[in-house]
Amino acid sequence: MEQTQLLEKVIIRAVLTVKTGLHIGGSSDYAPIGAVDSVFVRDPLTKQPMIPGSSVKGKMRTLLAKTRNGGGIGNSPDNDEEVVLRLFGSAQKNHILFSRLQFSDSFVKDTSIKQFSSLDTDTYLGEVKFENTINRATGVANPRQIERVPAGMQFDFRLVYNLEKEADFTQDMDALRDGFRLLQLDYLGGHGSRGYGRVAFSGFSVTRVDAHTGKAKPDAELAGQFESASL
């Protein structure tokens, strides 16, 4: 296992805006007749929508691997390009790497709670989209209801990067910026081929915290570089 030393914690914050209805599946212990067939994941305490950090991490890694790996995504994440392995981690034998990125779950901004609480909807801070799939052989319709985070809702996004080698920093940040750009060109969650899950990042701020002294300083230049990847 590679030996590393933690130099800084780089805290990256942004606003994640849902551009088209977003569905990241959750579960329901009780589903009465007429209930929504597929609900989105919610904070169990507040019952408000949330975006799991694992969803953002997984999609961003896949997109980076698809564009940076010579042979595509391959059969194992351990075959990813070296910078992708550094950022997202690897469990490869004799080459274990701890992820330098720590994704947090994203929760609804207070302004969005106020905005969407006034809407007359069947679900708190959500919407239900009715869809039909048609059996091509029989022509029989199969209706279903999918719960979505509505377009326009905003979330507080937070990501922490562990700076372990100064020599890697620029390359790591370039790759991470590409990850944000690619995610905005793709989709988050399910049903993306039908237009779901388009998101945008804006309002970036970056704070670099010395791991030894705890001294924090803003990095406006790096924040501007991430902002330039916004679409």
Is residue 207 in a domain? yes
pLDDT of 102: 97
Is residue 130 in a domain? no
Is residue 86 in a domain? yes
Radius of gyration (C-alpha) of the chain in whole angstroms: 20
Q: Which domain holds residue 173?
A: 8-22+52-112+150-227
Which of 8-12, 30-34, 45-49 has the least mean pLDDT? 30-34
- Whole-model pTM: value is 0.87
Residue 95 belongs to a domain with what CATH number?
3.30.70
Is residue 209 in a domain? yes
Count of CB atoms situated within 10 Å of the CB of 114 = 9
24 has a pLDDT exceeding 50 = yes
Q: Smallest Cα–Cα separation from 63: which of 142, 204, 175?
A: 175
User: Considering its fold, how many domains does the chain have in total?
Assistant: 1
What integer best gives the mean pLDDT of the chain? 87
pLDDT of 205: 98
Which of 134-138, 166-170, 193-197, 199-203 has the least mean pLDDT? 134-138
* pLDDT, average across residues 107-120: 89
Is residue 202 in a domain? yes
Cβ within 8 Å of residue 69, ≥6 positions away: 79, 80, 81, 84
